[in-house]
């Protein structure tokens, strides 16, 4: 059994030696741990996405068939859910920097079908709603149209991609496409 000399402490805090320390520690420690855990969980419940450009050349510009001056922007970016709360992507917005001004691009959910001799493949761009599990990431296939009258191969375009999540927060990333 542990015996402590409380004479110095007793002079500062009278009656401290009479306190049931074992009982205080056994009931107080779990309460403190629970309060700290609850504070951490409630703090971490905020929606937090991180949108990043994928390394390498993953964004491209291609001309449309039949419509002169209309260009298709296609690419892949990455979105990461940095929260313990599930989230979803609910909207995409695109803007292109043409002649120093930001111009809204036409976009919606697109399904491109490719037929080969043996199979039919379908690619989905701007998928919504797209669910993100806690602490996970996903690649986002994006596509939009922009009118560029003077477009030629080698033209470089800066595109601003804005993603809106389930809670209405917007996240933005700028990509360069050729």
User: What domains, with CATH codes, occur in the chain?
Assistant: 7-44 (no CATH), 49-177 (2.60.40.10)
- pLDDT for the residue 73: 94
Q: What pLDDT digit, counting tens, does each position of 6-42 carry?
A: 556 556 666 666 667 667 766 788 888 999 988 877 7
- pLDDT for the residue 92: 96
- Alpha carbon 110 to its chain centroid, in Å, reads 21
- pLDDT for the residue 99: 86
**pTM assigned to the model:** 0.74
Positions of the chain with pLDDT under 50: none
- pLDDT for the residue 45: 74
- pLDDT for the residue 4: 58
Is residue 127 within 8 Å of 146, Cβ to Cβ? no
């Amino acid at each position: 059994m542990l015996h402590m000399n409380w004479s110095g402490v007793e002079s500062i805090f009278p009656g401290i030696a009479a306190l049931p320390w074992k009982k205080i520690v056994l009931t107080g420690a779990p309460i403190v741990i629970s309060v700290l855990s609850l504070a951490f969980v409630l703090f971490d419940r905020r929606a937090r996405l991180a949108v990043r450009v994928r390394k390498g050349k993953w964004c491209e510009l291609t001309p449309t068939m039949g419509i002169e001056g209309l260009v298709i922007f296609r690419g892949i970016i990455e979105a990461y859910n940095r929260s313990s709360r599930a989230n979803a992507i609910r909207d995409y917005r695109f803007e292109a920097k043409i002649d120093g001004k930001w111009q809204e691009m036409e976009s919606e959910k697109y399904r491109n079908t490719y037929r080969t001799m043996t199979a039919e493949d379908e690619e989905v761009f701007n998928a919504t709603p797209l669910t993100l599990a806690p602490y996970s990431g996903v690649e986002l296939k994006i596509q939009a149209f922009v009118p560029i009258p003077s477009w030629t191969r080698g033209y470089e375009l800066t595109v601003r991609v804005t993603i809106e999540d389930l809670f209405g927060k917007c996240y933005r990333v700028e990509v360069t496409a050729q």
